[in-house]
Chains A and B, each alone.
Chain A
Amino acid sequence: MKWAGIAYALVVALLSAPAGAQSDPKADLAKLKPKDFPTQPIEFTVVYPAGGGMDVSARLLAKHVENLTGDRILVNNRTGGAGMVGHSYLATQAKPDGYTVGVVASLLWGDAMLRAQGRWSFTDLEPIAYVNSDALIWVGSTEGPYKGMSIKDVVNAAKDKPNTIRVAIVPGSMWEYILDQIEANSGAKFLRVPFQGGGAGITALIGGNVDIAQGFYSEFRGHLEGGKVAPLAVAAAGRMDFLKGMPTFNEAFGSNEYLWQLVRYAVVPKDTPADRKAYLAAAVQTAMKDPELIAEYRKQGVFFDPKLENSKNLAADLNAYAEVERQFYIKTGRLK
């Protein structure tokens, strides 16, 4: 109990620090730290396999939160069912005691709406901090019949000669939904070649086995630098910092409905005690302000959604995104 006493004294000392002094994030965090928490390692649950984009984001975050707080953090990959097993675990089985933090992606919403069959909802997980985003980008090859074409040219070509342009998709997810939108709006028809993940589609593009691939920046950056692929358009609200010359789909088609991005954020199970939740939220949010972590994320090729970065009410803003997705499912008959 001696240490608790010292910690308490420290907190008191910090609280009584003169007002107006530079706020120290570590001290602010110590103020929020509950007395009895954590007494064991905190698990960062990732529902996708080790080594993927989600996992890398979570592990970088864990490293920084660990450095910041001194709390031990374990990243645990609970995989299976394309994320469904882990999502169900977080929403229905994980104990709401603060020792489980999910580092999740917005694919959670689709799982909850289309696959959970009412057993759980994404609102069973309370957002505590925004992490980063990846937007879906269409890339073409720098060789072959479609080289040098803009996104409009490609769609027009698919309209003139339906079912000739081969596009790599990942079935049952936004890789496919964006094609639904484009085809519905333009009357074009593409051949949908299914792959397990965006990276496999990029490989097929370079091998000349598809004409268009879709993926995140990190998945094709190496090939972009190698001059093998050309970016066509991004399904985000604004242009990307790292590819200023690439238009958004919305710009190219004068629309506002092409928004397909992966939002990564941290959650805790519903009913996690308020003090622990506040502490964890502050820890992750403070880590996210570390320029070093931001730089590492930028190196990874992700971007930061300004709306979520400066969000006053993260849960509401995320729900607004999820609602757009729900409307799409209803419109396309995927959801009643």
Chain B
Amino acid sequence: MMEALNGLLTGFGVILTPANLYLCFLGSLIGTLVGVLPGVGPLAALALLLPVTFTLSPIGGMVMLASIFYGAMYGGSTTSILLNIPGEAASVVTCIDGHQMARQGRAGPALGIAAIGSFIAGTLGVVIMTFFAPAIAAAAIRFGPPENFALMVLGLVCTLFMISGSTIKGVLMMALGFLTAAVGLDVVNGRERYTFGSVDLSGGIELLALVIGLFGVAEILSNVETMAKTTLLADRIRGLWPSLADWRASWRAILRGSGLGFVLGLVPGGGPVTAAFMSYALEKRIAAQPDRFGKGAIEGVAGPESANNSAVAGSLIPVLSLGIPGNPVTALLLGALIIQGIQPGPLFIAQQPDLFWGIVASMYVGNVFLLLLNLPLVGLWVQFLRIPYRVMFPVVLLLCVVGTYSANKNVFDLWVMLGFGVAGYVLRKLEYDLAPFVIAFVLAPLLEQSLRQSLVMSSDGAMILIKRPVTGLLLAASVVLTFLMFRRRTKTEGGLP
């Protein structure tokens, strides 16, 4: 305890210099913008700015890169709420209820609760990181393939609760998500699957292109169709700030989202995207009136937006305390450190206390910056609703194209985006829920790999999944939840549709 507080003091000593504070602010600002712009994600921004950090001190560079990462989580919700187009993949679920709130004239409260939830979750995440980083890292590393598999199964079961409308259609979309994720190299033998000899397909379908297509392009298509009869949402703006009732509805969701996001951030392959989806599913599962979801429930914004922020703090722990990156963005942070000649590993905290505690301290500061930056912006963003669609959507479409291309510099990704845009448009018309598709797509590779790894490393086949206590517990919970889910569905719908 004392050690952590001393460390934190050292960290604040390092960070509270004009230069480092400036870099932290700059990173927060860039992160917010990156989050707001649809398609342009933190990964592309970090890769672009990596060379800039060569000329900075290690601490300055890391502070800036980290603040872009969590800053993007703040900004990501903006276009989700205002335009029904996610700013980046971790804000997909925010569209569902966030945009409904905007349609009801409550864009302000939605944006406000997203910013405040992000702040609370971000800060809670750093607090946990301050006191428990080494202990958590030691526990997280024991998490092997069987545990990962069980966690992913639980995640999928939670997704069942997310399905709105027809269960059959929802499960069908999940299956399609699995199938789409199977395209590319087989994780076990390295052979190509469903690539039809195409080089472009051999790496699988890019998540960003898929998300931007399904949610961005498809939304633009539907809007173009209905443009003539749409009234501007700005005419219905009611109140800029969350009311007391909003608070009462969301504070528990924020706390739950913070905890869930943190844990999912720790898991290899997890991170903000998975965290946001899971949080939404959880909120819908435990809500007193689940049917409010999809119609502008503020918990559906507060939970996921908190979860994706605390997931950032969670995902930084394995990188900084063990040198193990769990997702592409943290891999890039690791690369930035290596370029500076610093090799994170188990001794990182002991050998580079200034750097570790400086980064931790900067996250406290950065979250304050982001809150101060984002709350006044709410008023500004809401004004964006006054821009006519015929002006807004070509710009947004352009941003989608630029963002998708900038991630891999691969033209094929643009075709993927367009293809999924059309598919998303058609599926929406037919009232298929797209969220289960995306979450299945995200979870499938992890699920498949961890299952096949578990079976290879097991001496007695599938028994490995029951013998390990954590795995057994998680799988048992999944079974119980599935049972509950079908009981509820059959009760409310009088049989499966």
Contact = CB atoms under 8 A, between A and B. Distances in A.
B449 A194 contact: yes
A192 B187 CA distance: 12
A191 interface: yes
A82 B203 contact: yes
Nearest to B328: A49
Given A63-B51, A172-B190, A222-B323, A78 B141 contact: no
Interface string B334-355: 1110110101111110000000
A329 to B, nearest CB: 14
A296 B338 CA distance: 9
B206 interface: yes
Interface of A: 49-52, 55-56, 59-60, 62-63, 75-82, 84-85, 88, 115, 117, 164, 166, 170-173, 176, 191-196, 199-200, 202-204, 206-210, 218, 221-223, 225-226, 228, 296, 299-301
B57 interface: no
B426 interface: no
B315 to A, nearest CB: 14
A16 B332 CA distance: 48
Given A85-B410, A210-B457, 14 more contacts: A49-B331, A51-B331, A51-B336, A55-B335, A77-B408, A78-B409, A171-B187, A171-B188, A191-B457, A193-B457, A222-B323, A223-B346, A225-B345, A300-B341
Interface residues of B, number: 58
Contacts of B47: 50-51, 77
Contacts of B346: 222-223, 225-226, 228
A207 B142 contact: yes
B345 A171 contact: no
A99 B47 CA distance: 20
B179 to A, nearest CB: 19
Interface in B403-417: 408-410, 412-413
Given A51-B333, A225-B345, A193 B202 contact: no
B300 to A, nearest CB: 33
A300 B338 contact: yes
B457 A206 contact: no
Contact of B453 (A117, A170, A193): A193
A59 B47 CA distance: 11
Contacts of A82: 185, 202-203
Given A81-B199, A195-B453, A164 B459 contact: yes
A225 B350 CA distance: 12
Contacts of A206: 141, 322
B453 A85 contact: no
A88 B201 CA distance: 13
Contacts of A196: 187, 449
B324 interface: yes
A193 B410 CA distance: 31
Q: Which of B186, B413, B456 has the most CB of A within 10 A?
A: B456
B457 A209 contact: yes
B193 interface: no
Contact of B341 (A59, A88, A296): A296
A221 B202 contact: no
A50 B457 contact: no
Interface in B183-213: 184-191, 197, 199-203, 206
Contact of B203 (A76, A81, A166, A195): A81
A194 B188 contact: yes
Given A77-B47, A77-B409, A218 B338 contact: yes
A85 B199 contact: yes
A50 B335 contact: yes
A122 B46 CA distance: 31
Contact of B412 (A56, A80, A300): A80
B335 A51 contact: yes
Contact of A50 (B50, B189, B347): B50
A299 B328 CA distance: 23
A192 B456 contact: yes
A107 to B, nearest CB: 12
B202 A50 contact: no
Q: Which of A117, A191, A200 has the most CB of B within 10 A?
A: A200
A299 B341 CA distance: 6
